[in-house]
């Protein structure tokens, strides 16, 4: 099995990070190195023995520099095979081996999410897996063959460094929340890189979320307009339609977005989703 690196980015989420690292340590194969990019500071981070964990700060350009933080972590990875994991994940013990077995220079490998209804006290995958639920939109994605590139998102994926460099990395002109994943999918599709699922899972640890994510209203609008300039189509259309129905924006026939007003505190509060996914 080839050596591999892990990258994760974090802001807050100290318990989630601890659970992720616990699950990594229980893997059937261990990474050569783990690169943790902090978008706040290093306070409150505990590292289990036996893992080679390195830290980086990326908190200067924006309060949530997602694209730049991922690029920082992948650039710092010490091997050619990189697995990027969202800090909210708990990984199955067999995940890394299964992903690396399928990983090639012309593909990106991902896996299926299961969603926990709570933030657990442990990162023990086997204790938690029966408490998780599937995402209704990701139950029937085929295994082991190329799938629609827009099914990509950065919860979990494996990539070779040379492939990442060929794609050009995440576009750091997308600042904050929204569209940077979809843009990356468009970029790797343009480079003829295939997206393939393996039959394995991550558990997503519960956290409060908004649907639509009006708590990220400004960056979603800015990134949507940036994406439209680049690809001539609007991304995140379900969210944008919801914003329009709330009276926050207007989208004309040319897909130009006009902001009418900011979301109110009550709209933000009422948008918290009861679902774990």
Q: What's the confidence (pLDDT) of residue 208?
A: 92
Percent of the chain with pLDDT over 70: 100
pTM of the full structure:
0.96
Class of domain 5-204: alpha beta
pLDDT in tens, 127-175: 999 999 998 888 889 999 999 999 999 999 999 999 999 999 999 999 9
Residue range(s) in the chain whose domain bears CATH number 3.90.550.10: 5-204
pLDDT in tens, 174-229: 999 999 999 999 999 999 999 999 999 999 999 999 999 999 999 999 999 999 99
Q: What is the mean pLDDT of residues 75-97?
A: 98
The 3-class SS string of the chain reads CCCCEEEEEECCCHHHHHHHHHHHHCCCCCCCEEEEEECCCCCCCCCCCCCCEEEEECCCCCCCCHHHHHHHHHHHCCCCEEEEECCCEEECCCHHHHHHHHCCCCEEEEEEEEECCCCCCCCCHHHHHHHCEECCCCCCCCCCCEECHHHCCCCEEEEEHHHHHHHCCCCCCCCCCCCHHHHHHHHHHHCCCEEEEEEEEEEECCCCCECCCHHHHHHHHHHHHHHHHHHCCCCCHHHHHHHHHCCCEEECCCCCEEECCCCCHHHHHHCECCCCC
């Amino acid at each position: 099995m080839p050596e591999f690196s892990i990258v994760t980015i974090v802001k807050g989420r100290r318990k989630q990070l601890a659970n992720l690292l616990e699950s990594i340590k229980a893997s059937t194969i261990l990474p050569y190195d783990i690169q943790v990019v902090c978008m706040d500071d290093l306070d409150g981070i505990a590292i289990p023995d036996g893992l080679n964990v390195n830290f980086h700060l990326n908190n200067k350009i924006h309060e949530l520099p997602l694209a730049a933080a991922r690029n920082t972590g992948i650039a710092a990875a010490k091997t050619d095979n990189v697995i990027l994991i969202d800090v909210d994940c708990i990984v199955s013990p067999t995940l890394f081996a299964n992903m690396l077995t399928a990983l090639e220079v012309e593909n990106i490998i991902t896996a299926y999410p299961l969603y926990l209804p709570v933030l657990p006290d442990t990162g023990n995958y086997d204790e938690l897996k029966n408490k998780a639920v599937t995402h209704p939109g990701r139950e029937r994605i085929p295994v082991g063959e190329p799938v629609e590139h827009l099914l990509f998102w950065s919860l979990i994926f494996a990539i070779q460094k040379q492939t990442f460099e060929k794609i050009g990395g995440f576009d750091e002109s997308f600042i904050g929340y929204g569209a940077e994943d979809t843009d990356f999918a468009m970029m790797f599709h343009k480079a003829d890189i295939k997206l393939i699922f393996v039959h394995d899972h991550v558990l997503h640890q519960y956290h409060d979320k908004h649907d639509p994510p009006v708590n990220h209203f400004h960056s979603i609008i800015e990134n949507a307009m940036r994406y439209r300039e680049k690809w001539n189509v609007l991304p995140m259309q379900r969210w944008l339609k919801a914003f329009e129905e709330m009276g926050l924006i207007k989208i004309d026939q040319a897909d130009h977005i006009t902001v009418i007003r900011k979301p109110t505190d009550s709209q933000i509060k009422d948008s918290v989703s009861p679902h774990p996914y």
